[in-house]
Amino acid sequence: MISFREETRLAAQRLIEMAFEEDLQDVGDLTSQATIIGEQQGSVAIVARDDGRLSGGVLIRLVYEALATRYPGDVAVEDLLPDGSALESGTVIARLNGPVSALLTGERTALNFLIHMSGIASLTSQFVQNAGNTGVAILDTRKTLPGYRRLQKYAVLCGGGVNHRMGLYDGMLIKDNHLAACGGSVARAVEQARTFLREEGRGEIPVEVEVDTLDQLRDALTAHPEIVLLDNMRPAELQSAVSIRNELSPETQLEASGGVNLQTIGCIAGSGVDRVSIGGLTHSAVALDIGYDWQTR
């Protein structure tokens, strides 16, 4: 069972309210008002149109709970597949029963979350599969849309990936621009970061530093950082980096990033690195095709 944390739930509820504000304002759904007569009831099956991995199913109830504050009548959500479930074309994700007007008014909002989040989960699952049995962790990044970060990172979990830091506040990654600004060696920057975290009472936060050459890696490893990010290195360089790490600081984890796609992930994962971070999981995932099949009763 993938944990849908309270912080993620609150983020989802804020986005759902924004979605309905954009759609309805203080007028409502004009089309449904004009075409749906009285309290007509209906049933809907939410169905996958393509193979993939489910994420966002947990939001279906939240969408219709939010809509119930604007429209009378409850929508019941039944037979809901758990997030993280494998989908095939034709898989029924959930069944909905309730007022037709509410079902139709909430349709696009619910689907927008489902197709986007399931697209991320599906792409992540492909990367995990293509990494093979290497044991490498597939991580996301901070390349997310404002407001959607918790949902997009939740979707990565649904696909079998691992979350990197949530933001700048809960993790430390010393990048090339930090190194240029502080003007010191990589090792000195790591030591400075450790001192800061210790003084701030945050010594449990791991220090990660980015390098783009093997010489920088050797320098960094003298300070034994928890993680070194290897930026845009070719597979042969990654293999050399693993050998250097094993010799100088075997406890340090190595993370590859840059130039990672579904064709290259197998070779990168096979180099011996521990982690691979991929911005495309959240900023370039294609929406998964999911539809509403409904019938009035």
Residues classed as catalytic: 108, 143, 175, 210, 231
Distance CA 155, CA 151 (A): 6
- Looking only at Cα atoms, what is the longest distance across the chain? 75
**DSSP labels, 239-285:** HHHHHHHHHH-TTSEEEEESS--TTTHHHHHTTT-SEEE-THHHHSP
Distance CA 176, CA 181 (A): 9
| DSSP letter, residue 203 | T
Contact 59, 114 (CB under 8 A): yes
SS3 content of the chain, % helix, strand, coil (to 5): 45, 20, 40
Contact 254, 242 (CB under 8 A): yes
- Smallest CA-to-CA distance from 285 within 18, 53, 17, 22 is with 53
| DSSP letter, residue 162 | B
Length of the chain in terms of residues written: 297
